Structure 1
Amino acid sequence: MRRFENKTVIVTGAGCGIGFAIAKLMADNGARVVLNDLDEALCNQAVAKINAEQGTCIGVAGDAGDIVFIEHLVRETIKQYDAIDVVVANAGITLFGDFFDYPLESLYKVLHTNIGGTFLLAQRCARVMKDKQRGGCILLMSSVTAHQAHKNLAAYAMTKAAIEMLAKNLVIELSPYKIRINAIAPGATATERTQTDADYVSNWSAYTPLQRPASSNDIANAALFLASDDARHITGQTLVIDGGWTAISPSPY
């Protein structure tokens, strides 16, 4: 089944990892994908991979935390496809650091992308969905760190908790226009980034009840469900995908 045939989907932070897996799965299901990444070369490579497998995908590289770029991204999407049906606000940054010494610059970077970019992308895309009068779906990317404490991630965790509250609060604003909004909270996930830690998979396999970290496709499949008509009566919710980690909460670090 091509559940997203003739649907236009924006996915930010999608040059690799979870974002790319979501973009590819959307394209595999018939979506016209607008793929964003801050790294232009990575963005172009990701677009080429999807199109090489008979997907429909264009790339718009830039900073998904910047309002000028967000407005450009939305304009390019409307210019190309005249609609926005689904937006996945996946772009985000993680900057570890001890709370007592956490640099102001790092705090502002995390706030800029994770909160500012998520809020403004949702706002600008929701305006289009409202004007087009065809409903839509907004999917925000949270984290298990919004639910359980994790050392050296105070700033990051704060932004992810805020994102979940945003998904809940916007039910009031968006539901009259048949726009749904939900969040996904991934736990430990094996991606290109986490592969730089040789012990990542073994550590998280030992501390996860299902005995392995998630794959990017595990998260992408959940995103596909929440963005599809199969979830048409689900809004304002956060789906935690962590192999049971938050039920017991041990940290390997």
Structure 2
Amino acid sequence: MALDGKVAIVTGAGRGLGLAYAQELARRGASVVVNDVDAEATAEAVAAIEASGGRAVAVVAPVGPTETAKELVSTAVERFGRLDILVTNAGVLRDTVLWKMSDDDFDTVINVHLRGTFTTVREAVRHMRQAGEGGRIICVGSPTGQRGTFGQTNYAAAKAGIVGMVRTWALELQRAGITANTVVPVAATTMTATVPYFAAAVRAEANGEPMPAFFRHELGFGTADDAAGLVAFLGSDAAASVTGQVIGVGGDRLQIWTHPEAALTAHREGGWTYDALVQAWPTTFAGAAQSVGERFPKLPEEFEPPTS
């Protein structure tokens, strides 16, 4: 088995995408530390993995605090003898527009997504470097962190920050044989269930029906299980040369996101004064200005949500 003898930690693994990642890693032979704040969901996830012949142990704790990161790593090492793979998936949403977003809305999302990723990766890397056998860091991003989404200042900041950290870690960890990558999944989960555009796909998933091809192929929107194969691949020896990447996955689609590059470079002797910019912007620069937000194709009529 591809991950036989490996040990993985998956945060936010009680349900949804995190559960799919944990189950796929276990199917491929890894022993898994299942983390979530929901004790019942965590216990059920561990039981499901064990019922399928896998090995798993639960850690019920919120990510963010350094104490949780230490507990996750120590549990992996004490129960299974090592740590090879970390998947930072835990997350929350507190969506609202900028002028209505409270300090608590912002801080809660940043603490779980951004700080939680930082503290957990830091502790895992400390162990991996000392063990000297390499490792795999797999952090979960979002299209929102790449393109922006209305009403998600906190979430966009956290997910964009994760990508920035991962690119830095890929540089810092290369000599230790530790890879760091970001997965950007698009799937039917509790986070997407309330979006009217995806209603037909989410309904099909909930009813156990095949998801319409429009969503799987055109939008790259699928089930949680559709994203799990990429996580297992990035955790394996087959991906030893893959690091610093942002990889989108969903439905039938896989994407490698570009790293930010200058879209246009222009020079002017003496620099760019206000007057020079007023004159040059419409003809020289405006055509290279970048769009924001995700742009979806028009839904086929049969998938249009009903109007009230």
- Whether these two folds match at TM > 0.5 is yes
Deviation of 1:200 after TM superposition, in Å, equals: 3.3
Shift of 1:19: 0.4
> CA RMSD of the aligned region, Å?
2.5
Q: Which residue of 2 aligns with 1:8?
A: 7
Q: Are 2:148 and 2:294, in contact at CA under 8 Å, matched by a contact in 1?
A: no
Find the structure with the greater CA-based Rg: 2
Worse-superposed segment, 111-120 or 195-204? 195-204
1:190 aligns with one of 188, 191, 204: 188
Quick one: structure 1 residues 198 and 80, their matched pair in 2 at CA, closer, same or farther if it must change by over 3 Å? same
Which of residues 190, 198, 201 in structure 2 aligns to 1:200?
Answer: 198
Aligned partner of 1:159: which letter? A
For residues 44-74 of structure 1, give each alpha carbon's deviation from its aligned partner in whole angstroms, at most 9, with x where no partner exists: 0110111111111111111112211211121
**Cα distance in structure 2, aligned partners of 1:28 and 1:105:** 39
The alignment status of 1:144 with 2:190, answered yes or no, reads no
For residue 214 of structure 1, the aligned residue among 214, 222, 228 is 222
Structure 1 position 193, deviation (Å): 5.2
Matched, 1:232 2:232: no
Q: Give the counterpart letter for 1:250 in structure 2.
A: F
Q: Give the count of matched residue pairs.
A: 251
Give 2:295's aligned residue.
Answer: 249
Moved more, 144-153 or 203-212: 203-212
Amino acid at match of 1:45: E
Residue type at the aligned position of 2:198: Y
Alpha-carbon distance, 1:199 to partner: 6.5
- 1:122-201 aligned within 5 A: 122-187=121-186, 189-192=187-190, 194-195=192-193, 200-201=198-199
User: Measured at CA, do residues 193 and 97 of structure 1 come closer, stay the same or move farther in structure 2, by a change above 3 Å?
Assistant: closer
Identical-pair percentage? 27
SS in 2 for 1:128: helix
Mark the CA change 1:222 to 1:202 in structure 2 (over 3 Å): closer, same or farther.
Answer: same
Against the structure 1 CA distance between its residues 201 and 42, is the aligned structure 2 distance closer, same or farther, given a 3 Å change threshold?
A: same
Amino acid at match of 2:81: D
Which residue of structure 2 lines up, in the alignment, with residue 69 of structure 1?
68
TM-score by length of 2: 0.75
2:177 and 2:144 map into 1 onto residues whose CA distance is: 30
**Structure 2 residue 88 is matched with structure 1 residue 89:** yes
1:195 to 1:98, Cα distance in 2 relative to 1, 3 A:
closer
- Higher mean displacement: 121-130 or 61-70: 61-70
Q: Distance in 1 between matches of 2:91 and 2:146?
A: 17
**Contact 2:220/2:249 (CA < 8 Å) preserved in 1?**
no
Of the structure 1 ranges 157-166 and 239-248, higher mean CA displacement relative to structure 2 is found in: 239-248
Q: Displacement, 1:100?
A: 1.1
Q: Deviations over 1:187-230 (max 9, x none)?
A: 3x112554466873327876775256221011111111111122
Is the Cα–Cα contact under 8 Å of residues 190 and 213 in structure 1 kept in the other structure?
yes
**Contact 1:180 / 1:236 at 8 angstroms: preserved in 2?**
yes
Ranges in structure 1 where 5+ consecutive residues have no aligned partner: none
CA deviation after TM superposition for structure 1 residue 149, in Å: 2.3
- 1:114 aligns to what? 113
The CA distance in 1 between the partners of 2:199 and 2:145, in whole Å, is 22
- Which segments of 5 or more consecutive residues in structure 2 lack a partner in the other structure? 203-211, 258-292, 300-304
